[in-house]
């Protein structure tokens, strides 16, 4: 299954007006991204969306998102945490 083979990358971007957005990249269609997005949004109590192979969540949820992905069956070794990225104004 795709869950075991793909490296998931989690990072936080700082967007306009100082808003943080947590990005979960490399989420493929075979992983049921809509269900993963829905679960993350519910457990983190935030808004978010899935588009173009990445999940965008409102707020800084770097640590908690990793914990939730592990509870959904992803291996901790395949989850790569990135740093913070500053986006343009």
Domain annotation covers residue 89: no
Domain of residue 33, residue span: 2-83
Report the number of distinct structural domains present in the chain.
Answer: 1
Residue 17 lies inside a defined structural domain of this protein:
yes
Give the up-direction half-sphere exposure of residue 69: CA atoms within 13 A in the CB hemisphere: 30
Tell me the pLDDT of the chain averaged across its residues: 89
Query: What CATH number does the domain containing 22 carry?
Result: 3.30.780.10
Residue 88 domain flag: no
Quickly state the pLDDT bin for 36 (edges 50, 70, 90): very high
Rounded to whole angstroms, how far apart are CA atoms 8 and 69? 9
Element of type H or E holding 69: helix 62-71
pLDDT at residue 4, rounded to an integer:
56
Give the contacts of 3 (CB within 8 A, at least 6 positions apart): 31, 73, 74
């Amino acid at each position: 299954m795709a869950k075991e083979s793909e490296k998931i990358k989690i990072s936080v971007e700082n967007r306009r007006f100082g808003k943080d957005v947590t990005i979960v990249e490399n989420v493929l269609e075979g992983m049921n991204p809509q269900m993963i997005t829905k679960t993350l949004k519910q457990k983190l109590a935030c808004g978010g969306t899935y588009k173009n192979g990445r999940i965008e969540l409102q707020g800084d949820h770097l640590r908690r998102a990793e914990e939730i992905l592990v509870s959904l069956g992803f291996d901790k070794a395949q989850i790569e945490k990135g740093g913070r990225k500053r986006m343009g104004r």
